[in-house]
Amino acid sequence: EAGVTQFPSHSVIEKGQTVTLRCDPISGHDNLYWYRRVMGKEIKFLLHFVKESKQDESGMPNNRFLAERTGGTYSTLKVQPAELEDSGVYFCASSQDWLREQYFGPGTRLTVT
């Protein structure tokens, strides 16, 4: 069974540009989560999808971040316009239900210069 995949693995963009990150969850997992780790800090929750619906987006930093999960399969996280403080590693995770184990993808390292 394929694990959670993310694309790209690394992105370097300039301040003010737009970047879109993609996550493909484990097949059959209705729950999809985005997390972020910025330098020197703990991994922090961004948002949670159940199928195509946003269950909780309380962790989204501001309205420059937009997440979508059309059709309840893969998800995208767009940052527009990117700021320096957006640099970090963005992880996606998926689970069968909210109480069960969450499996993480390899992450996307975003560097904003």
Site residues, another protein (CB under 8 A)? 33, 35, 42-45, 48, 55-56, 59, 91, 93, 98-107
How near is the Cβ of 93 to another protein at its closest, in Å?
8
- CB atoms under 10 Å from CB of 53, counted, come to 10
Rounded CA gap, 66 and 81, in Å? 11
Listed residue (6, 5, 4) closest to 110, CA to CA: 6
Are 46 and 59 in contact by the 8 Å Cβ rule? The answer is: yes
- Return the number of the residue (25 or 107) whose C-beta is nearest another protein: 107
We find the least distance from the C-beta atom of residue 98 to another protein, in angstroms, to be 5
Decide whether 31 or 112 has the Cβ nearer to another protein. 31
Q: How far is the CB of 51 from another protein (least distance, A)?
A: 15
